[in-house]
Amino acid sequence: MSMKTRALILVSMAALLFTGCGRPGSGTDQNAADADTLSGEITVVGSTTVQPVAEVLAGAFEALHPGCIITVQGGGSSVGVTSAAQGTADIGSVSRDIAADEFQQYPGLVVYTIARDGIAVVSDPGISVDGLTLDQVRGIFSGEVSNWSSVGGPDMPIVVVSREEGSGTRGAFEELVLGDEVQITSGAILQSSNGAILTTVSGTPGSIGYLSFGYLDPSVKALSIDGTAPTPENAANGSYAAVRPLNLVTNGDPDGLARAWIDFIYSADGQAIVVEQGYLSVN
């Protein structure tokens, strides 16, 4: 009996604790009434490209509204669509355009483009090539060009590194850079995340791959295409073409916390975070 009483006390204490935390305490907040309704928890599931920036956006939002919890998970763009459509997540994140058959299957989907992202061709930093023409990029990824010496580099075999079929980054790269006719060589090393591509390209001599702008760092060399360097500026002014939308999707119009978070992302503060993370603002 005493065990039961103790458990009961524990539970009620925990409940008190949680309700205490759940109320945003700051009465000085100018829209205190608004803030009061803003509490609770939402989950965001989907693209690993959107994940890092979504985590930062969630953190910034939680700092403004202490009663809210936004959980961000990976899984992939397609998982993002199905989770949002089937209600297992409040918001899905998708690093590509929503496919026609996805709209057909889930007519309730509402899409918010929160940022745009460039895709850069990256190589092992030891390669003395700074840029390629679009045709050379297509030749290399299709497997027709197999040695760096054919594109002005050292006599060294080219190791192609790519994302797996179905990846949002791969889909966008195929669509925006390779075009319809070119298929990525079946001999390519396939890795299943932007992070794994970064590690593989930086560690494999003679390798070439492609990465979301948000993942670029000095351990790989970002190559210019047709003389245009893959920088946010060039992507913003339209001279660098490999740019895709980063989307959030919801099933029907979002309300409450989800609505507030999306509004926050579109605000000046939210878009500043997007730019800070290496992506392009949508404004």
Cα 185-191-194 angle, rounded to 5 deg: 115
Both tokens assigned to 150: 């054919």
Task: Give the one residue of 25, 126, 157, 195 binding another protein; rule: CB under 8 A.
Answer: 157
Decide: 81 and 108 in contact? Cβ < 8 Å.
no
Residue span binding another protein (CB under 8 A) among the ranges 5-13, 56-64, 195-203, 223-231: 195-203
43-to-46, 72, 84, 106, 202 alpha-carbon distances in Å: 10, 6, 10, 19, 33
Alpha-carbon distance of 244 to 229, in angstroms, equals: 17
143 lies in the site for another protein, by CB under 8 A: no
41 lies in the site for another protein, by CB under 8 A: no
166 lies in the site for another protein, by CB under 8 A: yes
Nearest to 131 by CA among 227, 243, 231: 227
Task: Give the one residue of 50, 54, 57, 79 binding another protein; rule: CB under 8 A.
Answer: 79
Residue number with CB closer to another protein (67 or 76): 76
Task: Give the one residue of 35, 159, 223, 257 binding another protein; rule: CB under 8 A.
Answer: 159
181 lies in the site for another protein, by CB under 8 A: no
Number of residues that bind another protein (CB under 8 A): 35
Task: Give the one residue of 34, 36, 144, 164 binding another protein; rule: CB under 8 A.
Answer: 164
Tell which positions 221-280 bind another protein, by CB under 8 A: none
101 lies in the site for another protein, by CB under 8 A: yes
183-to-170, 187, 241, 256, 268 alpha-carbon distances in Å: 11, 11, 19, 44, 40
Decide: 58 and 274 in contact? Cβ < 8 Å.
no
Q: Find how far residue 109's CA is from the centre of its chain.
A: 19
> Looking only at Cα atoms, what is the longest distance across the chain?
82
153 lies in the site for another protein, by CB under 8 A: no
78 lies in the site for another protein, by CB under 8 A: yes
We find the least distance from the C-beta atom of residue 57 to another protein, in angstroms, to be 21
Residue number with CB closer to another protein (176 or 236): 176
Task: Give the one residue of 12, 71, 149, 192 binding another protein; rule: CB under 8 A.
Answer: 192
